[in-house]
């Protein structure tokens, strides 16, 4: 929905369906009820997540026309899409496979281009900007040494530029400005704002200048192209797990002219280990589930950090008195600040949205809570009630 601080929605990755008919049936069942509760009198924006198969299905003209008619009939529209998970995201073991195929693989390129062509057709005529989020190049631990990692980064970057070529064409043909929103995540090749900025300036931009020089495009024009079509997805949960303060990160991005394509409004688990250590570790163990990756960044008493690729490894290697705090990549509900003995990074959401209210730095706000089905029963409520509560909580923070 349109707000004074940007378009606000939630990501449909919470709804099941890896093929289009299944996912569309979930949208038909859930979206009208959610809209009725959060914006009954104005159009409702959808953050559309399409798996690869769903993107192929929706590319069929009849399916696309049916969807466009349904959007119009229900006073809904799509302005942003989630292109991070390529395959299964529900009722399967996802873990590090959420990155597969990564940006070293042409399948990721084809999928993303297909998604952008769909977005160009779905995006309302009155909106000229749309974005698609994607994985941060690849999963760091898939590469055996620094040379392999360097080669992966270069290949991934070159492949992203194939998408940029398409976005330039779409802009010329339709006037719609579409951007690929890179989403740093713990244990991705790009984990935080510093790594994203380093890649953007020192790897992406030089490779792009060389790529577009073959088309006789000047370096100055290339910088404008890249700044327009490659942007950052600021996932508050991910940046919170990395202990990043939002204001310095956003200030640096602004100073460098690097755009933020969207804020993903999400919350992580935070554990204070200065008291009740044994009880908190026992409470945290309930969140060790087999579906998603739950990376842990642990703050040591000496101010340094330890990192664990998943919650089980962190728990198995726990040492009394070593850490003062853990932050866990687990997209817990936004509206809860505490979970019994555990807490959340909700404060990071409040700080980030305060910055957006004071000086908006993006046009897209997307709520991304997708772990309802794997949460402990004590914090679960019916799905639609959960989504409505998330949206109304964000509306209250934005005071809209």
For 196-214, write each residue's pLDDT tens digit.
999 999 999 999 999 999 9
Note whether residue 339 is domain-resident. Answer: no
Residue 135 sits in a domain whose CATH number is: 3.20.20.150
Neighbours of 147 (CB within 10 A): 9
Note whether residue 294 is domain-resident. Answer: no
Give me the chain's average pLDDT, please.
95
For residue 135, name the pLDDT band (cuts at 50, 70, 90).
very high
For residue 91, name the pLDDT band (cuts at 50, 70, 90).
low
- The answer to whether residue 370 scores a pLDDT higher than 80 is no
Note whether residue 326 is domain-resident. Answer: no
For residue 386, name the pLDDT band (cuts at 50, 70, 90).
confident
For residue 82, name the pLDDT band (cuts at 50, 70, 90).
very high
% of the chain at pLDDT higher than 90? 88
Q: What would the two tokens of residue 348 be?
A: 């990071």
Q: Are 199 and 226 in contact (CB under 8 A)?
A: no
Note whether residue 279 is domain-resident. Answer: no
Note whether residue 282 is domain-resident. Answer: no
In a 3-state reduction of DSSP, which class is residue 302? coil
For 103-127, write each residue's pLDDT tens digit.
999 999 999 999 999 999 999 999 9
- The answer to whether residue 92 scores a pLDDT higher than 70 is yes
Number of separate domains in the chain = 1
Strand pairing class (305-308; 338-339) = unpaired
For 164-198, write each residue's pLDDT tens digit.
999 999 999 999 999 999 999 999 999 999 999 99
For residue 373, name the pLDDT band (cuts at 50, 70, 90).
low
Q: What DSSP letter does each residue of 346-395 carry, written as one string?
A: HHHHHHHHHHHHHS---SEEEE----GGGS-GGG---HHHHHHHHHHHHH
pTM of the predicted model as reported, rounded to 2 decimal places: 0.96
Domain limits for position 358? 2-266+345-398
For 289-331, write each residue's pLDDT tens digit.
888 899 999 999 999 999 999 999 999 999 999 999 999 999 8
- The answer to whether residue 374 scores a pLDDT higher than 70 is no
For 228-282, write each residue's pLDDT tens digit.
999 999 999 999 999 999 999 999 999 999 999 999 999 999 999 999 999 999 9
- Residue 372: the pLDDT is 63
Q: What DSSP letter does each residue of 134-200 carry, written as one string?
A: E-SSSBGGGSSSHHHHHHHHHHHHHHHHHHHHHHHHHHHHH--EEEEEE---TTBSS-SHHHHHHHI
Alpha helical stretches, state H, 101-145: 106-122
């Amino acid at each position: 929905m349109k707000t004074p601080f940007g378009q606000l929605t939630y990501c449909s990755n919470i709804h099941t369906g890896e093929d289009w008919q299944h996912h569309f049936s979930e949208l038909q069942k859930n979206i009208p009820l959610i809209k009725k509760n959060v914006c009954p009198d104005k159009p409702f924006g959808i953050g559309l997540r399409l798996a690869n198969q769903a993107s192929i299905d929706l590319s069929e003209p009849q399916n696309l026309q049916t969807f466009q008619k349904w959007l119009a009939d229900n006073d809904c529209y799509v302005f942003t899409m989630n292109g991070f998970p390529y395959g299964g995201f529900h009722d399967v073991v996802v873990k590090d496979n959420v990155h597969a195929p990564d940006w070293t693989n042409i399948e990721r390129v084809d999928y993303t281009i297909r998604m952008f062509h769909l977005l160009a057709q779905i995006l309302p005529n009155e909106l000229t900007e749309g974005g698609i989020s994607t994985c941060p190049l690849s999963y760091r631990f898939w590469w055996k040494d620094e040379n392999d990692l360097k080669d992966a980064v270069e290949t991934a970057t070159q492949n992203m530029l194939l998408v940029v070529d398409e976005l330039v064409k779409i802009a010329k043909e339709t006037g719609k400005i579409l951007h690929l929103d890179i989403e740093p995540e713990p244990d991705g090749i790009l984990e935080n704002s510093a790594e994203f900025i380093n890649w953007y300036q020192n790897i992406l931009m030089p490779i792009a200048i060389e790529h577009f020089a073959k088309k006789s495009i000047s370096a100055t024009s290339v910088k404008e192209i890249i700044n327009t079509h490659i942007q950052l997805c600021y996932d508050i949960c991910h940046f919170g797990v990395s202990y990043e303060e939002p204001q310095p990160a956003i200030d640096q991005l602004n100073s460098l002219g690097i755009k933020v394509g969207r804020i993903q409004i999400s919350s992580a688990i935070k554990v204070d280990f200065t008291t009740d250590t044994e009880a908190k570790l026992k409470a945290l163990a309930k969140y060790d589930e087999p579906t998603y990756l739950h990376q842990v960044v642990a703050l040591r008493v000496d101010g340094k950090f330890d990192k664990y690729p998943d919650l089980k490894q962190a728990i198995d290697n726990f040492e009394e008195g070593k850490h003062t705090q853990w932050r866990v990549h687990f997209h817990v509900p936004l509206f809860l600040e505490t979970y019994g003995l555990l807490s959340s990074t909700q404060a990071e959401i409040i700080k980030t949205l305060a910055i957006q209210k004071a000086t908006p730095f993006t046009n897209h706000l997307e709520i991304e809570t997708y772990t309802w089905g794997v949460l402990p029963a004590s914090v679960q409520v019916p799905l639609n009630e959960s989504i409505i509560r998330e949206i109304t909580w964000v509306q209250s923070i934005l005071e809209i």
